[in-house]
Each structure stands twice: as C-alpha cells, then as structure tokens.
Amino acid sequence: MYTVKEYLARELVASLADFDGVPQDFVPEFEKPKNPEHGDLATNAAMQLARYLRRAPRSIAGALAEHLLARPLDPARIASVEVAGSGFINFRFSTEYLIGELRELLKAGEAFGRSTTGHGKRALVEYVSANPTGPLTVGHGRNAVLGDTVANLLAWNGYDVTREYYFNDAGRQMRVLGESVRARYQAVVDPETPRKRIESGDVSVEVPASFPEDGYLGAYITDIAERLHSRAKGAPDLSGDVAPFKEAAEQAIFADIERTLTRLGIHMDTYFNERSLYENDTVWKTLEQLRDKGHCYDRDGAVWFRTTAFGKEQDTVLVKSSGEPTYRLPDIAYHAGKCDRGFDRIVDILGADHIATYPDVLHGLRALGYDADRVEVIVHQFVTLVRGGAPVKMSTRRATYVTLDDLMDEVGEDVTRFFFLMRSPNAHLEFDLDLAKEASEKNPVFYLQYAHARICSILRKAEEVGFHGAAGADLSLLGHAAEITLMKALLRLPEVLEYAAAMCEPHQVANYLREVAVSFTQFYGHCRIIGEEYDLAAARMQLAHAARIVLANGLHVLGISRPERM
RNA sequence: GCGCCCGUAGCUCAACCGGACAGAGCGGCGGACUUCUAAUCCGCAGGUUGCAGGUUCGAGUCCUGCCGGGCGUGCCA
C-alpha cells in the first residue's frame, strides 16, 4: 500500500505545478477513509491548500482531480478519482493492483508485514524490571507483555532489539526480604519460637516474633525457609548475617520469575543489576558530572538536584544525608549508560506508580547534555481484576495479590497476553476473569485463533479432495465483494505493524487482526471453496492461504499461539 | 494544592499523532445449522463523545476553565 501512496503523492505534487501559491515544502497527506464508500485512500490536500491558494477547497479539489485524471493515472493501480465532501479527493484501487499485491503477499509468506524501517538501528526495550521480592503479579504481567510485544514490533520493523530487565538486589526491600525469610526459618528450626500477629489492612497474619513489621507475608517466604532448612548441608546459621537468607530468597524468586516469563514466551537478553553502577563507580561519576555542570548543591547534609530549573515545584534529593543515594541517582546513571551504549531508540515500559519518577530521570539526562528525546516512556495504567462483578484487591507485601501464574492457570497464556494487549496502555485495564475464561465462544482471542484454525481445516480438506498445486492459481478470478474487502484488509498488515511500532501501541495490531478475522469470516460465508469449479476454488484457496499468513504473522508478533485445529 | 492518565452506547473499550455519517465486542431483542469447523453468521435497538467557552474550512482529538475517577506527589523503591 505504501508504494501506491507514494505514487499518488508524486502525481499529486506534479499536478500542483500548475497552481500558483503552493508552498515549496508542501507534502500531501493521505489516509484511509473510515467509510469504505469513500474509497481506499483519500487526501485532504485541497483543504490544506485553501488558505494558500485563496480558493474554496471544493474548487481546488475539482481542479486537482482533473489534472490528475489528465496525466493520466496508471489504470493498473488507480480505478477512480472522485471529489467528495468538503474537498476530499478519494482514490479507489484497481482490482488488478490488489491482485498484484496479493501475489506479493503470498510470495513473502512468513515475512509478510516485516519492514526495513529500523534497518541498521538499535533499540533497547526495558521492561518487567521487578525487584526479586516476590512472584510476578498481574500488574507486572501487563508491563511484561506490553514490553515484549513492543520489542517484537520493533524487531519486525528491522530494529536490532535488546530486551533488558533492570533490577536491584541491594536495597532496603531486599534486606527486609532476607529478614522475613530468616524469621520464618527460625520458626522452622524451632517450632516453639514466640509468635506475634501483624495486622495489615484487613488481613491479620501470625508470624515469628523476629519477623520485620514491614516484612513480606506471602506463603512463598515460608516455602523458601523450609527448602533452605531441608538442605542437607550448608543450612545457614541464625545468629549470623542476613545475607545467606537474602541470597537464597533472591535465587528462588528469580528462578520463579524466569519460569513465569518463559510461560508467557518472554526471554530477556540482558539483566542489568543496579549494583553494577556502584561497583564501577558510575553512580558517583554521574553525580560529579551533574555537580560540575552546576545542577547540584548541598543542603542539610544531602545532595540536591535542582529540578526547579526544569519547572518542577521542588528540588530533588539525590544523596541522602546518610550518604546513601536515593533511587533517582542510579536511575539517571543507568539511563545515561543506555544513551552511551548507542541505541537509536530507548523504550521504557513503566507502571503508573512510577509516573512521578521518570521526569526526574529525563531532566537528569538533559542536565548531563544527553538528548532525552531518544527515550520513549510508555506508562501503562493499572490492571483491575474483576471476578463476579467485583474488583479483586491486590498488594504484594500483604500477600493479597493474584500472581501472574495464578492468572495464567485460570485463563491460559494466550488469553493473558491478548487481554493485556487489547487496550491502549493509557487505559485503565479491567480484566474480567469470568469473561476471559467462561465466555470462550465470545472471547476475541478464540475468535482470531478460530479463524486461523478454520482456514487450516479448509486447506487440509481441499487437499484431501484433490485440490493440489493451487500456487499457480489465476488470482484474477477473484472479484466478489467479500473477496475484495478481505484482500484490502490483508494488505494493510505492513502499515499497521509499522504504525504500531512507531507509536509503541500493540493494541493497534489486536484491533486490526479482529477486522481481518471478521473479513475472512464474511468471505467464508459468501464464497465457497470446495465444490466450486477448479480454477475459482484454487484462487480462493490462495486467498484463504493469504488470510492465514496475515493472521499467523499478526498473532506471532503478539506472541499468541496459532492453532491449526480447535 | 501540584503533576501525569482517564471520562465516548446499559457494560468494557476503539477511533490511524485535526477530517466526511463517532465504531467494535459483551449484554438485550429477533432470525440462520441435511453445505469447506455454529468456538459461527445476519438483522434490530442503543450517543448532545462529562460540562462551558475558545482556535479552525472542520474538534471525541488542540487550548482555557470547571466537574468526576485513577495514580503519584518522601532524605521509600
């Protein structure tokens, strides 16, 4: 479709040579009209030019259309040109053109929809980035799936993509985690250990007396303690340092996290530990650079970042009076490092709870002289699980959460991925568990997969009854309205994937695939394959095959399986 | 108070970075299986895009001000 758009843009600009007053840098815009009656491609050039030419848009459109028709336009591509509405020029593709493109689609096969937009460019997508303090939750799930799919989209558009997980196992959170495990461990060693109760919100949990007040209450802590105790040798000493408990917990939890991600088909390329920024002094070097450039000052024993210079209400502490940095400083150092690593696109996937932190990081980058515009921050809103019409409350520390694994156990991996992807990241996501599993017949995921499976079934059956070698079919036999509609839908895949990658919006793909499935199902309803005369059946088999390719490639990008039977 | 996100059909959400008559699914109502997969399809009903202004040939989309919801707003991460 891009080729024809470029072709029309050239023709349009050439036609404008006869008009006085057209700006030198005028670039006509094209878009696909919402209403199919308005053709396949439309331009609002006449409206845009009205103020320069001092003529009514409709009159410009009429003159432009005449010029275009007089060139003349290539009938192998454009079937009609019409002026409509308040000055739109609508173009309709010729069937010949569509069939030619369909042929290209079939030739490209599994590669259809890939682009070279990102060739020679490197992209870094950072996502998940949960500290190993507990199992991944549903909230992490949305982040993980979103990031992974954005990475897929970039890869499909030719980018060399690195998927990165950033974490910190050195902070207070992890120390509390270690203390939580140690307390549970003590109770395993000595069942007579004194107990106390911790009240948190509406839950009340019995814990060993040594359990930290803000400790992690989840059952997995006890599991880790028990496993630690059952180890024949090397069981840690209670009187010693908390480190062995922390390390054991981290190891166990990280293994769980990776297992969960694997279930979702997610594999990270790099794990970046915040600690490394301390080990090579990067954090302190970054601070010195900020200081040298005059963005820092000392007050009350702390080091402050002059964020008010960037329009914020208050300055921000980078190093506490205790000498310990806040998380902002390593975050800035980490992102400066990302810029230094030479990526063309740097994408961060963040939950809404980090909404206040990333502006400081971007300000930090600017202060250091980096081009902060290279960093694209995708902030996604929260997920609410709904069961029986009521929201499910969640909190990691209180252990009242639903884990990502629980969710997948309940509704399946494919549904999990799709539900996280079908909404705009900006939209608060309501995940209706009842609908996700029980309504399998109305579920959009199954709808797409069913269309795919159905095509596979038809193609299998057709082979059985003797339709072989359809590859040489005469596609020009295709001309039914349902066939044309389907072709047009199929051919949009590349532009949808490119747009979705540019905007980091996977839901565009999900919505598009639904349209494709609808178009296919309508084609299926109107046009038979088996039973038709051989040549027509062969041509339709090819069209069905093309639909399978588009659905398969689209689902592949979304990370959802493509069943051949259901 | 301040910052970001959201407010669109009964419900959950789209709407291609300003375009034509605002679209889907679910739910509701009514139809369609001796036919390639009925996990399906067809039809009907359902809207002052939270409110009020402004910019524009043209606004759900941009600007201003209200109203309502979410997340933040710490020498926690």
- Which nucleotide comes closest to A328 if you measure CA to C1'? B77
Q: ipTM, 2 decimals?
A: 0.94
Residues 444-463 of A with CB under 7 A from strand B: 444, 446-447, 450, 453-454, 456-458, 461-462
Confidence of residue A531 (pLDDT cuts 50, 70, 90): confident
A33 in Cβ contact with A90 (< 8 Å): yes
pLDDT in tens, A16-31: 988 888 888 888 989 9
- Which nucleotide comes closest to A530 if you measure CA to C1'? B36
Average pLDDT over residues A261-277: 95
Confidence of residue A392 (pLDDT cuts 50, 70, 90): confident
Per-residue CA distances from A177 to A109, A133, A165, A203, A220 (Å)? 50, 6, 20, 19, 11
How much is the pTM?
0.94
- Which nucleotide comes closest to A514 if you measure CA to C1'? B24
Lowest mean pLDDT among A37-46, A204-213, A490-499: A204-213
B70 C1' closest Cα residue = A428
Beginning with the edge strand found earlier in the chain, give each strand of the sheet holding A78-84 in spatial order.
A30-31, A41-43, A88-93, A78-84
State the amino acid at position A140 in one-letter form: H
* Positions in chain B where some atom is under 7 Å from a protein CB: 1-6, 12-17, 19-27, 35-42, 57-58, 69-77
- Rounded to whole angstroms, the Cα distance separating A78 from A8 reads 9
- Which nucleotide comes closest to A431 if you measure CA to C1'? B12
B37 C1' closest Cα residue = A454
For A67 and B57, how far is CA from C1' in angstroms? 23
- pLDDT for the residue numbered A52: 86
Lowest mean pLDDT among A237-251, A253-267, A340-354: A237-251
- Rounded to whole angstroms, the Cα distance separating A135 from A258 reads 10
A108 half-sphere exposure, CB direction, 13 A CA radius: 21
- Which nucleotide comes closest to A492 if you measure CA to C1'? B16
Strand B contact at CB of residue A251, distance < 7 A? no
Measuring CA to CA, which residue among A387, A298, A373, A380 is closest to residue A343? A373
- pLDDT for the residue numbered A429: 92
Strands (E), A47-103: 78-84, 88-93
- Rounded to whole angstroms, the Cα distance separating A506 from A167 reads 25
pLDDT in tens, A95-114: 999 999 999 999 999 999 99
Average pLDDT over residues A385-410: 78
What phi, psi does A142 have (nearest 5°)? -65, -45
- Rounded to whole angstroms, the Cα distance separating A359 from A375 reads 11
Tokens of A239: 């009187």
- pLDDT for the residue numbered A375: 92
For A488 and B44, how far is CA from C1' in angstroms? 29
- Which nucleotide comes closest to A435 if you measure CA to C1'? B26
Average pLDDT over residues A422-436: 89
pLDDT in tens, A130-152: 999 999 999 899 999 999 999 99
pLDDT in tens, A72-92: 999 999 999 999 888 999 999
Using a pLDDT cut of 90, give the percent of chain A over it: 65
Confidence of residue A3 (pLDDT cuts 50, 70, 90): confident
- pLDDT for the residue numbered A519: 94
- The structure tokens 């009656």 sit at A37
pLDDT higher than 60, residue A56: yes
Average pLDDT over residues A294-309: 93
Residues 475-534 of A with CB under 7 A from strand B: 499, 505, 507-508, 511, 514, 518, 521-522, 524-525, 527-531
pLDDT higher than 50, residue A1: no
pLDDT in tens, A154-196: 999 999 999 999 998 877 888 899 999 999 999 998 888 899 9
Average pLDDT over residues A56-66: 92
Confidence of residue A337 (pLDDT cuts 50, 70, 90): very high
Average pLDDT score, chain A: 90
Residues 58-117 of A with CB under 7 A from strand B: 84-88, 90
Strand B contact at CB of residue A429, distance < 7 A? yes
- Rounded to whole angstroms, the Cα distance separating A71 from A68 reads 5
Lowest mean pLDDT among A230-244, A327-341, A365-379, A512-526: A230-244
More confident residue, A313 or A560: A560
A15 in Cβ contact with A64 (< 8 Å): yes
For A461 and B61, how far is CA from C1' in angstroms? 48
For A101 and B45, how far is CA from C1' in angstroms? 40
- pLDDT for the residue numbered A478: 93
pLDDT higher than 90, residue A345: yes
State the amino acid at position A218 in one-letter form: G
What phi, psi does A4 have (nearest 5°)? -70, -35
Strand B contact at CB of residue A382, distance < 7 A? yes
Specify whether the backbone of A382 is left (phi greater than 0), alpha (psi in -120 to 50) or beta.
Answer: beta
Strand B contact at CB of residue A564, distance < 7 A? yes
- pLDDT for the residue numbered A440: 60
B17 C1' closest Cα residue = A503
pLDDT in tens, A478-505: 999 899 999 999 999 999 999 999 999 9
